[in-house]
């Protein structure tokens, strides 16, 4: 799993039906690259979260039929503080 | 999922039968690398889209038997504007 | 899917039984990195092709029991010309 | 599988139910990038371990329903010594 | 599939039960990065091999229940010579 930051919402004007009604977020990984994740948890902008990828991303959704490959699975409250301690 | 741009169509003169009749697009990711994606949505050149990878790419196709590993799952209308706001 | 070039054949002197009798090719991706792909299409050296990865690579083979994770799924006749037009 | 180092515990204040009760660790790969892994073995900080990714990460957990994509599967006691010998 | 070199054996002092009794090897990819692969073929140090990843890595093992994501599937006898010819 990766540690990413929620940057913004993402709105698709048209999508495959398996993504309809699913909350999408713009995510930033630790190198600053942007991704799109499905969010079954309901996370606000600026929060640090744990994401899972691959088929696990579908298992983490309420319905396995969603066609995501990246899903937010947990919120980390104190990541910036913890990261500073890790970096020493 | 990744945020990519549709660059062009891609035509295979010969393919495995599981890709016959499927629309393929040349895609560019955020670092400028080119990819090939299957397109069940029908997206024109120059559009920004969300793509899904792995087994989810097959689930996003009308038939699961297609052998794609990258599928366009949604169109983002205002990505360039949104990206500018994110980059601040 | 990725756009790669067929460089050479690859011969394994010993392999797991699930790869016996399968044509293997040395592939080069767009960054010059070499890979090994299974080839159910029958492609000559120097050709540009589309490859699929992950479990889709097995679905693209005549037998799903082959243990490949990268399979040639289509031949692109005019990629070098098309790439020049894309690069402008 | 990758060879990674256990850096710290990771606590999620909220998570999807499929991760509840699962021990999470902050991991560092050989390039210094941080990851989050599920730990069914019970490994202390500073230990070098082997991790598996993708669907294998779920198979390595007591319950396949956990939505991890990275799991600790073994402890290496003498990695730093062995790595020195490899680097010559 | 990737072309990698067998560098050394890898011994885990403790592991999940799905890896018990499985031969593990330290591998080096073409960029010098180290990996851990399961070896159902029985390959000596210094040999060049083909590896498969993802769920195919489990299919290549005698038992699908092993939790590997990287498995040696074939031995290449003349890779260094062939590589020189490719590099021209």
Predicted complex ipTM: 0.95
* Residue indicated by tokens 């598996």: D52
- Nearest-CA neighbor of D31 among E34, E70, A4? E34
What does the pLDDT read at residue C1?
98
Q: Which residues of A touch B85 (CB under 8 A)?
A: 8
What is the C-alpha separation between A21 and D5, in angstroms, rounded? Answer: 39
E1, E59, E86: residue with CB nearest C36: E1
Give the pLDDT band (50/70/90) at residue E15: very high
Give the pLDDT band (50/70/90) at residue D74: very high
Mean pLDDT of chain E: 96
Helices (H) and strands (E) in chain B, counts: 2, 6
Q: Would you list the domain boundaries of chain D?
A: 2-87
What is the C-alpha separation between D17 and A73, in angstroms, rounded? Answer: 9
Q: How large is the average pLDDT for residues A5-34?
A: 96
Q: Which residues of E touch C13 (CB under 8 A)?
A: 74-77
Q: List chain C residues with pLDDT less than 50.
A: none
Q: Which of residues 59-78 of C touch B (CB under 8 A)?
A: 59-60, 71, 73-78
What does the pLDDT read at residue E17?
95
What does the pLDDT read at residue D61?
97
Q: How large is the average pLDDT for residues A32-47?
A: 97
Give the pLDDT band (50/70/90) at residue E55: very high
What does the pLDDT read at residue E49?
98
Q: Which CATH class is domain B2-87?
A: mainly beta
| pLDDT values of chain B reduced to their tens digit, one per residue, 88 residues | 999 999 999 999 999 999 999 999 999 999 999 999 999 999 999 999 999 999 999 999 999 899 999 999 999 999 999 999 999 8
What does the pLDDT read at residue B32?
95
B7, B10, B67: residue with CB nearest C56: B67
For residue E20, give both structure tokens: 């018990």
How close, in Å, is residue D44 to chain A by CA atoms? 15
What does the pLDDT read at residue C55?
97
- Flag if A2 and D65 touch (Cβ within 8 Å): no
Which chains reach chain C with 3 or more Cβ–Cβ distances below 8 angstroms?
B, E
C34 at interface of B, judged by CB pairs closer than 8 A: no
Give the pLDDT band (50/70/90) at residue A46: very high
User: How confident is the model over D10-36, as pLDDT tens digits?
Assistant: 999 999 999 999 999 999 999 999 999
CB C65 within 8 A of CB E59: yes
- Nearest-CA neighbor of A71 among A32, A13, A22? A22
What does the pLDDT read at residue D17?
95
Which chains reach chain D with 3 or more Cβ–Cβ distances below 8 angstroms?
A, E
User: How confident is the model over D75-84, as pLDDT tens digits?
Assistant: 999 999 999 9
User: How confident is the model over C35-58, as pLDDT tens digits?
Assistant: 999 999 999 999 999 999 999 999
- Rounded alpha-carbon distances, angstroms, from residue A65 to A20, A37, B56, B59: 11, 15, 9, 8
CA-nearest residue to A2 within chain D is D35
What does the pLDDT read at residue E86?
95
- Nearest-CA neighbor of C69 among C83, C82, C57, C86? C57
User: How confident is the model over A53-77, as pLDDT tens digits?
Assistant: 999 999 999 998 999 999 999 999 9
Q: To the nearest whole percent, how much of chain A has pLDDT over 70?
A: 100
| Close Cβ partners of C68 (under 8 Å, ≥ 6 residues apart) | C19, C22, C37, C38, C57, C58, C61, E1, E52, E56
- Rounded alpha-carbon distances, angstroms, from residue D18 to A14, A38, A43, B68: 30, 16, 17, 29
């Amino acid at each position: 799993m990766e540690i990413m930051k929620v940057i913004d919402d993402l709105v698709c004007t048209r999508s495959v039906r398996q993504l309809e009604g699913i909350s999408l977020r713009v995510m930033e990984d630790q190198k600053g690259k942007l991704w799109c994740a499905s969010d079954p948890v309901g996370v606000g902008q600026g929060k640090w979260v744990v994401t899972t990828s691959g088929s696990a991303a579908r298992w983490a959704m309420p319905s396995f039929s969603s066609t995501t490959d990246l899903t937010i699975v947990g919120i980390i409250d104190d990541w910036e503080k913890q990261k500073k301690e890790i970096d020493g």
